[in-house]
Amino acid sequence: MIIQLILLVVGLVLLVKGADWLVDGASVLAKKNNISDLAIGLTIVAFGTSAPELVVNAVAASGNYPDIVFGNVIGSNNFNLFAILGIAGLITPLAVQSSTVWKEIPFSLVAALVLLVLANNYLFSEPTHLSRYDGFILLGLFAAFLYYVATQLKADPLVEGVENKDYSTGKIWFLILIGLTGLVGGGKLVVDNAVWIAQALGVSEKIIGLTIIAAGTSLPELATSVVAAMKKNADIAIGNIVGSNIFNILLVLGVSALVRPLDFNPAFNTDIYLLSAGTSFLFISMFIGKKYRLDRWQAALLLMIFASYTTYLVMLEL
């Protein structure tokens, strides 16, 4: 058990560092080819923070572990929304742009509701599962989100947080390759050892996916939002979370369903309801108190909800 726990931690570290190296190398490569900072930030960097979830889910889907697939994405999104946004909001009140309030937050809610409908087959009298057809629908919505991102490029040609670094071509490709290697190796270590631990402890793969794996793969988002909050850059702190949640459902689950059609455990509906309610609360919070701002008391409430629900999940397994 000790060895598996150590390997699990090593896998999580490789995931986080792999994503960091990949983003670092790809960002410099893009800038050398005169791609704008905003395009880099909204594509490469955004993809990079969701890369751990994507790799873990591709490995889990290919190994036919659907509970880990859904648990990782839904758990990561809830961790992002309740825990990370709660922590960032306690550091500093988070004021956001109106476009995030009226477009990105609602789009995130729509993504969660679409997942609920597709996974439960509410439109058809079939068993609950996410088919390859559903995967194409999710990826189609992801393409629509990217189109929205492209329209934003014209409105704002700059983005903060992308550093200008002068790396040699060799170092750039070394970072990209070692980043990809770290992601793939880390993803396999995480899935294999998480499944082993779950079986050894008699804990369901669902709980492991919703807690340990979800929190571990959300470490890039945690680091990004906390640093942004400490620098009083509220727009990046909250935009990172909302954007990541959209990426996770539409891109990560879309790709996962293409790898293998996934049986859906209806027990996850509660977690999707929580995600939808939390996203709705975030939207409503923008109009309570100071407009377009998440205040500390609202952030504290998000954090309390996450702690209570996680405790509830663990108690169910005891």
Token duo for residue 210 = 């919703």
142 confidence band (pLDDT: 50, 70, 90): very high
Q: What is the model's pLDDT at position 240?
A: 74
CA 195 from chain center: how many Å? 21
pTM of the model: 0.81
Q: What is the model's pLDDT at position 38?
A: 47
- d(CA 45, CA 37) in angstroms, rounded, equals 10
CA 278 from chain center: how many Å? 15
- Mean pLDDT of the residues in the chain: 84
> pLDDT digits over 99-126, tens only?
778 888 999 999 999 999 999 987 765 7
| Mean pLDDT on 205-233 | 79
Q: Is the pLDDT score of 280 beyond 70? A: yes
Ranges of each domain in the chain: 2-317
Give the CA-trace dihedral at 143, 145, 147, 150, to 10 degrees. -130
Spell out the CATH class of 2-317.
mainly alpha
| Mean pLDDT on 39-54 | 69
Q: Of 240, 214, 264, which Cα lies nearest the Cα of 100? A: 240
Residue predicted with more confidence, 107 or 196: 107
Percentage of the chain exceeding pLDDT 90: 36
